[in-house]
Chains A and B, each alone.
Chain A
Amino acid sequence: MKRTPLFSAHQELGARFIDFAGWEMPVQYESALQEHLVVRTHAGLFDVSHMGRIEIRGRNALSAVQKITCNDVNRLADGQAQYSALLFNEGTFVDDILVYRIDAEHLLICVNASNREKDYHWIVQHIGMEAEIRDFSDDYAQLALQGPLSQALLQKLVDVDLGQLKSYWFTFTKINGTRSMVSRTGYTGEDGFEIYPPSQEAEKIWKRLLATGTECELTPAGLAARNTLRLEARLALYGNDINETTTPWEAGLNWIVKLEKGEFIGKQALLRQKETGISRKLVGFEMVERGIARDHFPVYYRDRLVGHVTSGSFAPTLQKAIGLTYLPPAIANPGTEISIDIRGKRIKANVVPTPFYRRPVN
């Protein structure tokens, strides 16, 4: 199994590990529940170095990225990032990604760990003649500092004024003497930052952050907490909620599709589906009766099997069991009563509006 540059730091902290897409990753340290709650109230530090980082360079970098993504990179200024997706011709997801524009001739794409090789080959296949493409994932680590106290904490270690760094913007700054990219992004539904230090400096920066954060209860947090946090915020997980068979319309990700931007791979299929309409829609549900719906459990509407749970868990912030599933649009409205087959028993649930959790505005 592959290991991130922080593997031994996780071991020292007593982490439990799991195999995630071929990576030996910390799933929790002391308690997944506590890690989740501390991210909501204070701050947590995640190792997400397993994610893939691909750079696109050259005079035509911008138009090349425009062609393979469904969101509009022309709306990005230098130093701005955007949630987007790589789509197949069929309009279904190759992957969901983050695009960072360093400048018009240099863009970064951050991809899911499980899709790193697939995405790289897809990108090379489609724009390899137009731009220079490099998978530089191994050169850098990626740390996610998430939670309401993230800014105050990180500010102690950097020169730039983080108050000026808005959501989905990034900058380059020294942390612990090492120049790193810092973006105001994350996957928890909280304010927070992602830090991309060179691999060989990652452990020092990880430890420095944890040491600096002791006074504000900063905790290292594992993939279990990352999953429940992102689910409460209804952030899609590739492989669960979106995959090679689902489209942005079905997943409720209409906002990342900019049809007016010009041609891009998958656009024609999306136009056709817009015309014909979708046959299923990703919705949130909440258990009404006692029980926890887990990934893949069957979903029923009036005794008819209508789908499966794509993500299901106990939600620590809400103290409820929640999940996501695809349903036919006719029964996808909040209030619809469905049931989940939990080990042979039909347990009642209701379709509810999402996100399940929205961070308080300060």
Chain B
Amino acid sequence: MNIPEELHYTREHEWILVEDDTGTVGVTDHAQKELGDVVFVELPQRGEEIGAGEPFGSIESVKAVSEIYSPVSGQILETNSALQETPDKINSDPYGDGWIVRLRLIDRSEIKGLLSAQDYEHYLKEELAK
């Protein structure tokens, strides 16, 4: 399982890369495998404010739809418009070209509530064992 060390994670299988007060958000390698081939991504509007744990968009695969939850509170700075044409980037490069939104963090202290790479790996093992 690919779980980069430098990212923070949620139990809903999103990741966030924090650089100063900016966060880049996507879904994890595990999430994209569970979803299967992504064929459509619903993205939020730039400027929208989203609370921690709130859904801001959805990812649809051939067989299912899954909401994307924001790991932290923030304002949408940018969305990955390339996903409109090539949503499968979420499958092929979930931590890179498959990023979904960039947002401005409102409260940096929320990061402490997220899972580290180790925590997330541990969480996944427990989930898979169920």
Q: Which residues of A contact B (CB under 8 A)?
A: 27-28, 31-34, 36, 224, 227-228, 290-292, 294, 313-314, 316, 321, 343
Contacts and interface: CB of A to CB of B under 8 A. Distances in A.
B37 A292 contact: no
A32 B36 contact: yes
A114 B100 CA distance: 40
A228 B40 contact: no
B60 A292 contact: yes
Contacts, number: 40
A321 B42 CA distance: 14
* Best-buried of A27, A227, A291 by chain B (most CB within 10 Å): A291
A328 B60 CA distance: 30
A361 B37 CA distance: 29
B60 to A, nearest CB: 5
Given A28-B36, A31-B36, A32-B36, A291 B62 contact: no
Contact of B63 (A32, A34, A290): A32
9 contacts: A28-B36, A31-B37, A32-B63, A33-B37, A33-B39, A224-B63, A292-B39, A314-B40, A316-B62
Interface string B7-44: 00000000000000000000000000000110110100
Nearest to B41: A290
B58 A343 contact: yes
A32 B42 contact: no
A292 B63 contact: no
Looking at chain B, what size class is its interface with the partner chain? 10 to 19
A343 B62 CA distance: 17
B65 interface: yes
Nearest to B36: A32
B39 A291 contact: no
A32 B40 contact: no
Contacts of A290: 40, 42
Given A224-B63, A292-B65, A294-B65, A314 B58 contact: no
A33 B62 contact: yes
B36 A314 contact: no
A27 B62 CA distance: 11
B40 A313 contact: no
B115 to A, nearest CB: 25
Contacts of A292: 39-40, 60, 65
A291 B40 CA distance: 7
Given A31-B37, A32-B37, A33-B37, A224 B62 contact: yes
A25 B124 CA distance: 24
Interface string B30-72: 0000001101101000000000000000101111010000000
A37 to B, nearest CB: 10
A24 B65 CA distance: 22
A321 B40 contact: yes
Contacts of B60: 292, 314
B42 to A, nearest CB: 7
A34 B61 CA distance: 12
B56 to A, nearest CB: 13
A59 B84 CA distance: 62
